[in-house]
Copies of this chain bind each other. A is one copy, B any other.
């Protein structure tokens, strides 16, 4: 089953500068072929259900290896059966309603 997901991974117990951890997770998601799109509060991915959650598990494992005793992820995951939709489709759909065309 295809999934569009938004992830925010937060390591706890490693201070307040989290960007090195977020970057490591971004690399893992990219290597898994999930095409992560970073934004200011997380990253969006698309892929098969199993691939997405296996990659996220590797993110947790890796952040623990990097020294985080606790890792908490907030995520939104969407599936639909009415039509095939990509992350880019979702953005374009709203942009068109806002009267913003493709560049």
Interface string of A26-58 (1 = CB under 8 A from B): 110000000001111110100001100100110
Contacts of A16 in B (CB 8 A): 12-13, 69-70, 80, 82
Say whether B82 contacts A78, CB under 8 Å: no
Complex Cα distance, B82 from A84, in Å, reads 32
Number of A interface residues in the complex (CB < 8 A):
56
| Copies of this chain in its oligomeric complex | 4
Q: Is the CB of B79 within 8 A of A71?
A: yes
A82 — which chain B residues lie within 8 A by C-beta?
Answer: 13, 16, 69-70
- Digitize A2-40: 1 where CB-to-B-CB distance is under 8 Å, 0 elsewhere: 001110101011011011101100110000000001111
Produce 1/0 per residue, A55-92, CB < 8 A to B: 01100110010000111111111111110000110110
- Using CB atoms and an 8 Å cutoff, list the residues of chain A in contact with chain B: 1, 4-6, 8, 10, 12-13, 15-16, 18-20, 22-23, 26-27, 37-42, 44, 49-50, 53, 56-57, 60-61, 64, 69-82, 87-88, 90-91, 93-98
